[in-house]
Structure 1
Amino acid sequence: MNILKRISKVFVVLLLIISILLVARELAFTGSILPPSPLPTQAKIIDIHAHIAGIGAGGSGCYVSPTLQENFRFNQYLAGFGLTRQELEQHGDSIAVDKIATRLRDSRAVQGVVLLALDGAVDTQGELDLPRTEIYIPNEYVAAQVKRYPDLFYFGASINPYRKDALTHLEQAKNAGAVLVKWIPNIQHIDPADPKLTAFYQKMRELKLPLLSHTGQERSFSSANDTYGDPKRLELPLSLGVTVIAAHIATTGKNQGEDNYQRILPLLPQYPNLYVDISSLTQINKLGFMDKALREPRLQGRLLYGSDFPLSNMILTSAWYFPLNLTKEDMRRINNIPNHWDRDVALKQALGVPPEVLTRSAAVLGVN
């Protein structure tokens, strides 16, 4: 009987807690950040921030460090792609691209995705340094995969500017159809503020290749130098006329005692060539930042759509994380959308992301 009484008391306490939370939600409910707006009929949405997976299977040239492969995150990332290690080993790395293509072709909302290569760290001789590299997705591999699905994908190149032949790689990437250059400086050991990179930035401007650079902390890998994620370190390429897209709006971490998000905002009025993407802003670790981004006057006209796939297809992201902005019916409806890209766009639309944010990427990248 004592056990039954204890269980009853626990049950009553739980009911009380749930009731209090439900009442608190009703009192604190604010609705969408901005009034949701439908997309124009002929709108074209391009996701400028989507990763691909590869372990080197099938001669892809991709590489994932043993440390990262042994990390608990690795299998979670593969699950986000809808993959297993066994599938990659059996069918080759290109199966990841095939699966992404199938999902994208089924999407009603998104018409194109920029698939991102990722260069590795570089040694003092300007050569690829695999022992210091977390992940390496070669340009040649991504460019070849994009050519298999030219109606769906755009090529996002990645060149570590410390390579001894970096300018040649940059021209090769442009000739192969690259629409931007992607960096994660924190793990590639790139200092965006290094004056030695001036010639590289000048070539980027000449080739009209935007720089999509991670800003803020980096916690998706086993180690990182977060000093290089300081958005203020992007002032050099901005001052040289490079179009820069600061990924995630620097919404994590601090530098020099100041939040990285606060460090990027003063740069926007100064540099009209600075854009940001909203990838990752619906993740549970970024709650509140979508609200800040949509209400910040300095970000108006600078926001671009990105998903950060596969992170957007993992437990990190869910409509259920927005009970103060979305009704129960909306959260249920959005979470039940089977297609990842349609679900991602529907969530952002419901939160109040304006149509022009979702459709601006094509103009910034200069693509049709």
Structure 2
Amino acid sequence: MRSSAPLIDIHCHTAGIGAGSSGCFVSSAMRRNKRFRFFLKTFGVTEAELIDRGDELVLERLSQGLAESRHVTAAVVLAMDGVVNARGELDEAATEIYIPNSFLGQACHNYSNLLFGASINPYRRDALERLEQAAADGAVLMKWLPSIQGIDPADPRLKSFYRRLYELKLPLLTHTGNEESFTRADNSLADSLRLRSALDEGVTVIAAHCASNGKNEGQPNMERLLSLFAKYPNLFADFSSLTQVNRLGHLGKVLRHTRIHDRLLYGSDMPIINSFITSPWWHARHIPLLEVRRIASIRNPWDRDVELKMALGVTEEIMGNSGRIVGAGSPRPILPPPV
């Protein structure tokens, strides 16, 4: 793939257990779940390594993988705020995974190819102050997972948060469609139609995963998302996770809507691309066998992901959209730590 626009992955996860005083944590319920060890393995780390070297080791491994990629220039790494209680404070008992902005924002400055994606539950008592701090720390977007964080994007109380997002020119990357990676979820909160409040305030909204699975009010979530594009030029969608075995054919469905090709953004959903769940072999019905074999032999997970998605119909022009949205034309210089 050769394109004049940089290829930026706008949907990359990290992980942490609190090692190295990161402030991250994983709930005991999640740590007992088989997903916990699966995710550590796909990140290429072990729990023992994190305890020994700290949670920043995950970011180091992500940066190394990106440096070795032929296609992907940089990635937006996403923080993960938690559930908030009635007092507007973090509810640790109800939170399964927590990756604070304070840790991630600083750690990303140590790597020229990692961009900081902040996460703030807008129901926090000091949400606006946290938003200002995230912007000052170099955040390139805001990430929500409403069905897990208990956020209702249609809540009128969020208007001031949306207005400040718009003023700061920070896109809102928010999960749409059903969430299946946690032990519990309220998927009604990830209904695309709930995003109209943010869109009406002018916020650039990125619907993660193109709302490609699940239904709300009996209607497929993807249909509900597609109904919004004509009215809102500030609406975009990332096609991360659409090559997973449980989403076979979903990427093709999205690409058939050519009128939104300029609104589609590349995201990997790392570390999922580093697992059997996104193996090219699941797509052998749609890609020539020799091409499947070639793509499957690619060692770098980002390169394998890019080439699989292009084999399924994503164009170079579509791949270039994400770099323009996050304003990351080239890797940043490594910044010194604050005094």
Q: What are the equivalent positions in structure 2 for 1:165-184 lying under 5 Å apart? A: 165-184=126-145
Residue aligning to 1:102: 64
Greater fraction of residues in helix: 1
Residue aligning to 1:39: 2
Q: What are the equivalent positions in structure 2 for 1:1-368 lying under 5 Å apart? A: 38-40=1-3, 42-149=4-111, 151-368=112-329
The offset of 1:237, in angstroms, is: 0.1
**Partner amino acid, structure 1, of 2:284:** P
Work out whether residues 213 and 246 of structure 1, in 8 Å CA contact, stay in contact via their aligned partners in 2: yes
The offset of 1:39, in angstroms, is: 2.6
The offset of 1:87, in angstroms, is: 1.1
**Partner amino acid, structure 2, of 1:230:** D
d(CA) in 2 for partners of 1:346 and 1:257? 35
Secondary structure in 2 aligned to 1:269?
coil
Identity across aligned pairs (percent)? Answer: 51
d(CA) in 1 for partners of 2:172 and 2:56? 26
The offset of 1:56, in angstroms, is: 0.4
d(CA) in 1 for partners of 2:313 and 2:94? 41
Residue aligning to 2:334: none
Q: Which runs of 5+ in 2 are unaligned?
A: 330-339
Work out whether residues 8 and 328 of structure 2, in 8 Å CA contact, stay in contact via their aligned partners in 1: no
d(CA) in 2 for partners of 1:362 and 1:300? 15
* 1:292-320 deviation digits (Å, cap 9, x = unpaired): 11111342211000000011111110111
d(CA) in 2 for partners of 1:74 and 1:201? 33
d(CA) in 1 for partners of 2:264 and 2:2? 16
d(CA) in 1 for partners of 2:237 and 2:48? 36
Secondary structure in 2 aligned to 1:246?
strand
d(CA) in 1 for partners of 2:117 and 2:33? 26
Secondary structure in 2 aligned to 1:285?
helix
d(CA) in 1 for partners of 2:69 and 2:319? 15
Work out whether residues 13 and 269 of structure 2, in 8 Å CA contact, stay in contact via their aligned partners in 1: yes
Could you tell me the TM-score, scaled by structure 2's length? 0.95
The offset of 1:171, in angstroms, is: 0.6
The offset of 1:231, in angstroms, is: 0.7
The structure that has the greater radius of gyration is 1
Work out whether residues 268 and 298 of structure 1, in 8 Å CA contact, stay in contact via their aligned partners in 2: no
Secondary structure in 2 aligned to 1:245?
strand
d(CA) in 2 for partners of 1:205 and 1:365? 14
d(CA) in 1 for partners of 2:75 and 2:192? 25
**Partner amino acid, structure 2, of 1:310:** P
* 1:191-214 deviation digits (Å, cap 9, x = unpaired): 000000000000000000000000
d(CA) in 2 for partners of 1:349 and 1:256? 33
d(CA) in 2 for partners of 1:125 and 1:43? 45
What is the aligned length?
A: 329
Work out whether residues 215 and 247 of structure 1, in 8 Å CA contact, stay in contact via their aligned partners in 2: yes
Work out whether residues 5 and 323 of structure 2, in 8 Å CA contact, stay in contact via their aligned partners in 1: no
Work out whether residues 76 and 116 of structure 2, in 8 Å CA contact, stay in contact via their aligned partners in 1: yes
The offset of 1:367, in angstroms, is: 2.7
